[in-house]
Amino acid sequence: MPVRILIAEDQQLVRQGLAALLRTEDVEIVGEAEDGNAVVEMAKVLKPDIVLMDLSMPVLDGVEATRRIKRAMPSARVLILTVANCEHRVAEAMAAGADGYALKKLGHGELMSAINAVVGGGSYLGPGLSPELVRDYLNGADARGASLTAREREVLRLIAQGLKNREISDSLGIAIKTVETHRTKIMQKLDLHNSAELAAYAIRRGLID
């Protein structure tokens, strides 16, 4: 049976070129998505063997799309295919559940090796990316999370559930200014910069279902 592949890439030319390249192999392109939300919904319906996931996409980025696919279908295989060559992005993707991380500059043969490794139940990390540095980054994130107070964790959980400052204030019986202070301290401690990143962190660390 050919490997069934779903491609997620917002640039049409790149997406079509990748599909054309892969069709020279024993694979079946079951779908192409141009934004993160679309690939999540398509993956649920098409159930591909593997999703080739770009990181920079509209609506949802590749990390959040990966996380949602993995939550809906834990057995789904996801290979990140991107130009972002840094341990920070690798760590985010792997923490979200990605099974591999490859760079777009890799050759045809190496891409097929990455796909086969991931589909076969293994993992893949492209040349030049250090597993040790990725592990160190993730360990650092755990250490930062440990510095949160019990109240800060509670506020973080509510932020991740989509509550606004006023709703958090009412829920916890504290002033809005206090909520804002907690939010600022949480972002500083975790080195995160917006509500989406806070929500992603909370999901990753099991603070919400």
Q: What is the pLDDT of residues 24-36, one digit of tens each?
A: 898 999 999 999 9
> For all residues of the chain together, what is the average pLDDT?
85
* Residue 175 clears pLDDT 70, i.e. is over it: yes
Report which secondary-structure segment, H or E, holds 13.
helix 12-22
The pLDDT of residue 120: 92
Phi and psi for 7 in degrees, rounded to 5?
A: -105, 130
Same domain, 130 and 152: no
Q: Using alpha carbons, list the distances in angstroms from residue 19 to 22, 23, 30, 45.
A: 5, 6, 10, 20
164 domain-assigned: yes
Tokens at residue 66, please? 């990966």
What number is the average pLDDT over the span 52-74?
A: 90
Same domain, 73 and 169: no
Q: Please check whether residue 21 is in contact with residue 108, taking contact to mean a CB–CB distance below 8 angstroms.
A: yes
Same domain, 130 and 171: no
The residue that leads in pLDDT, 86 or 48, is 48
Same domain, 106 and 157: no
The pLDDT of residue 139: 57
Report which secondary-structure segment, H or E, holds 133.
helix 131-146
141 domain-assigned: no
Q: Please check whether residue 140 is in contact with residue 192, taking contact to mean a CB–CB distance below 8 angstroms.
A: no
Categorize the per-residue pLDDT at 18 as very low, low, confident or very high, splitting at 50, 70 and 90. very high
Q: What distance in Å separates the CA atoms of residue 66 and residue 96, rounded to the nearest whole number?
A: 6
115 domain-assigned: yes
The pLDDT of residue 89: 75
Same domain, 13 and 70: yes
* Residue 190 clears pLDDT 90, i.e. is over it: no
* Residue 37 clears pLDDT 60, i.e. is over it: yes
Question: Which residue from 150, 147, 111, 146 is spatially nearest to 127, judged by alpha carbons?
Answer: 111
Same domain, 89 and 188: no
Chain position carrying tokens 């806070």: 198
Percent of the chain whose pLDDT exceeds 70: 86
165 domain-assigned: yes
Residue type, 193: H
* Residue 170 clears pLDDT 90, i.e. is over it: yes
Q: What is the number of domains present in the chain? A: 2
- In the chain the first and final C-alpha atoms are separated, in Å, by 36
The pLDDT of residue 126: 79
Domain end marker among 90, 108, 135: 135
Categorize the per-residue pLDDT at 149 as very low, low, confident or very high, splitting at 50, 70 and 90. confident
Which residue(s) pair with 27 in the sheet? Answer: 3
What number is the average pLDDT over the span 55-75?
A: 89
153 domain-assigned: yes
Percent of the chain whose pLDDT exceeds 90: 44
List the CATH number of the domain containing 50.
Answer: 3.40.50.2300
Residues 39/43/49/53 CA torsion (nearest 10 deg): 20
The alpha-carbon radius of gyration of the chain (Å, integer) is 19
Sign of CA dihedral 14, 18, 94, 78: positive
Could you list the residue range(s) of the whole structural domain that residue 167 is in? 147-204
